[in-house]
Amino acid sequence: MKVAVAASFFNWLSLSELGKRALFAGFDGIEADLPRDLGELLELNCPPITSIHLPSITTVRWLVLGCVLARRIGSSIVVSHPTINPILLTALYRIWESWGVCVTVENIPRVKMSRAEIRKIGINPNWIIPETKVFANYGSVDATFDIGHAGLLGLSPKHVITALGRRLKHVHIHDYLYVAEQDHLPIGSGEANFRTLFEYLHQVKYNGTVVLEAPATDLSQQAAIIKSLAKEAI
């Protein structure tokens, strides 16, 4: 199991500088973020990239660009939000799978927009399903499971991980506070049960990457915690 850190929470650092700090802290690589890291990815001037995270409002254009970049830099995982027609995303998933790129769809927290507001930005509200029902809506497309997003909805990782089985290809972790509705907190500053998460990841023999999605000030500490939790679950 690899551990990485999400670039989207370190906007004051270039991808290269974040890579140096993350590798020194004990992480294995970076989850690049589009459009934030587009320039450095195009120049192939980047640290080890474990995955590419697409914009919150994922469009077909961004999906195709993300997959092209992933193939160029040797990153096998692309993370999409559920804002693309499920039938189209499934077709694109199969195409890119043949090229060695795994497109995954991520569960999102409760959407605080009306259906009318969602339509105004050009998205069918039926595609945006919060909670982990999104995984069923996107059929055979592989999954990125976000424990913080699920936690804000009161969901345990047990059911999700077990139900996904082999479709689980990527994991986002960050702490959260349920009542305050705060997520993307450093590990140890909220109420997430990470031990349970790693126990079930071990049970399903998950061997992908676990990505820290939080603006941690002490990357070494966060890397050590994640690795310790993974080791304890064995």
CATH code: domain of residue 100: 3.20.20.150
Write down the pLDDT at residue 57: 80
> Is residue 167 a contact partner of residue 142, using CB atoms and an 8 Å limit?
yes
Alpha-carbon distances, residue 130 vs 38, 72, 113, 127, 152 (angstroms): 28, 32, 12, 9, 11
> Cβ–Cβ contacts within 10 Å for residue 209, how many?
23
Determine the 3-state secondary structure of 97 from DSSP: helix
Tokens 């140096």, residue?
A: 20
How big is the CA angle at 5 (ends 176 and 213), to the nearest 5 degrees? 20
Partners of residue 49 on adjacent β-strands: 30
- Domain of 123 in residue numbering reads as 2-232
> Is residue 80 a contact partner of residue 59, using CB atoms and an 8 Å limit?
no
Question: Could you tell me the two tokens for 125?
Answer: 């509200």
How big is the CA angle at 117 (ends 113 and 118), to the nearest 5 degrees? 80
Write down the pLDDT at residue 85: 83
The whole-number mean pLDDT for each consecutive block of 10 residues of the chain, a chain of 234 residues, reads: 96 94 96 94 87 90 94 93 85 90 86 61 55 69 90 83 89 92 92 92 94 95 95 86
Write down the pLDDT at residue 58: 84
For every residue of 173-229, DSSP letters joined together read: E-EEETTTTEEEEPTTSS---HHHHHHHHHHTT--SEEEE-S--S-HHHHHHHHHHH
Write down the pLDDT at residue 59: 87
Partners of residue 106 on adjacent β-strands: 144
Is the overall model pTM greater than 0.85, yes or no? yes
Distance of CA 41 to the CA centre of its chain: 18
How many domains is the chain built from? 1
